Amino acid sequence: MESKGQIDIYMLIIISTLGVLVLVLFLVFIVALYQKRMLANKTMLIDAENKHQKKLLDASLEIAEQERVKIAVNLHDDIGITFNVLKMNLSRLKKNIDKKEVFDEIIAASSKNIDDSMETVRSIYNDILPPTLTNMGFVKGLKEVCNQISKTSELEIIFHSEEENIEFDKKIKIQLYRLVKEVLNNTVKHAKPTLIEINIQNKENNLIVTILHNGMGITTKEITKLAGTSTGLGLKSILTRTELINAGIDFTIINAQKSQVIIKTPLV
């Protein structure tokens, strides 16, 4: 006979598994909605007469497709494996319900699998809609990103903004936020600096983000050339997002110890 405590634990695992499944279905719904919007953009692409607009929209669709594939792969690889493991654990649990040591081992393993799945789902959701941007706003959200980078590396980041809260169009805000994050990620990965200084200014309806660093520098001309030949999404994504929000981006080598990136975005 199964004790009440064992039955309660058994039910808890089932309910937790169903909870993860609901979250996965929610993510699938978001991805489907995302695809629908991309199809709408594709219609705009067909109707567009301007060659530059067609090229820009096509690049935007490529980024969206890459992001959709990334989400699908994460769901398949991480969540799919977790559900298979949970299924096997539930089967083992049924066979070993009276063996406390084995029972406890299965419960612990299943609990960890559920925790890992929740973390994966949370990570995927954060990629779709960054919580730091939603909850804190553009300036504080970027500051939090800098804090996270500093905590996970030996890199020092000095962050300064003339204003704590800068409100502007939500679509531009999301694209600019992701653009600055991509520039930061590329800088950390390829320039290998030990110090980064970020300055945000709101001047004459233009939001200016200046990123100074002491790593290996690169020029705008070199970036454009690399983006044209590279198969990686990073540089292409940076230039495409820049054009999508009608911004300007300039990569400059000031001297052997200092380089900078300036992103200038019109807010009106």
Nearby residues of 156 by Cβ (< 8 Å), 6 or more positions away: 150, 194, 195, 196
The pLDDT of residue 44 is 64
Q: Superfamily for 132-266?
A: Histidine kinase-like ATPase, C-terminal domain (3.30.565.10)
List the one residue out of 140, 130, 142 whose CA is nearest residue 210: 142
Domain boundaries, given as residue ranges, for the chain: 4-129, 132-266
Assess contact for 78 and 117: CB atoms under 8 A: yes
Tens of pLDDT along 130-174? 777 878 889 998 998 898 888 877 889 999 998 888 989 888 898
The pLDDT of residue 157 is 94
Q: Give the pairing type, strands 156-161 and 195-203.
A: parallel
Assess contact for 141 and 126: CB atoms under 8 A: no
* CA distance linking residue 248 with residue 258, whole number of Å: 21
Write a three-state SS string for 93-158: HHHCCCCHHHHHHHHHHHHHHHHHHHHHHHHHHHHHCCHHHHHHCHHHHHHHHHHHHHHCCCCEEE
* CA distance linking residue 22 with residue 127, whole number of Å: 18
Torsional sign, CA 37, 38, 41, 46: negative
> DSSP class of residue 78?
I
Model confidence band, residue 46 (pLDDT cutoffs 50, 70, 90):
low
The pLDDT of residue 21 is 74
> DSSP class of residue 194?
S
